[in-house]
Amino acid sequence: MSVIWFARNCIVHEGTNQSMGEIVSFIHNYYVELVFVIPMNNVVSGIQVQWSPPLTGVVKINVDARFRLNQKKAAVGVVIRDENREILEACCKITYHVLSVFIAETIAVIHGLQFAKK
């Protein structure tokens, strides 16, 4: 579901459109990463991480990044919510020539801060 939402945000906010092949590839790579890369003995079951709203009068900025090493491409998403969990703003951005997951996550944080500043 998050893949569809991310693709929608890219169309609405960036004017970019992912092909069906790119979306399917993204889902496949995500599945492979979950099943084959993450050792099952490191997965803690039964723990749910819940989003907590910010204090009244404050907004919360959530960012995330997706990285493809073979394409040296990162897609970042930003969601800004208020204390009522309402989405105030959301955007996504695709960046090329990205060399690592760390750089992709850093780009996500920087983009989130720049977006919030507007």
Indicate if the pLDDT at residue 56 is higher than 90.
yes
CATH at residue 41:
3.30.420
For the chain, give the DSSP string: -HHHHHHHHIIIII-----HHHHHHHHHHHHHIIIIIS-GGGPPPS------PPPTT--EEEEEEEEEGGGTEEEEEEEEE-TT--EEEEEEEEEES---HHHHHHHHHHHHHHHHH-
Which pLDDT score, from 0 to 100, does residue 82 have? 92
Q: How far apart are the two ends of the chain, measured CA to CA in Å?
A: 28
Please state the domain count of the chain: 1
Calpha distance 63→79 (Å, rounded):
7
How does the average pLDDT of the chain come out, rounded?
79
Q: Binning pLDDT at 50, 70 and 90, where does residue 55 land?
A: very high
- pLDDT, greater one: 70 or 6: 70
For range 4-33, the mean pLDDT: 68
For range 81-106, the mean pLDDT: 90
Contact 104, 76 (CB under 8 A): yes
Residue span of the structural domain in which 48 resides: 2-117
Indicate if the pLDDT at residue 6 is higher than 80.
no
- Tell how strand 73-81 and strand 60-68 pair up: antiparallel
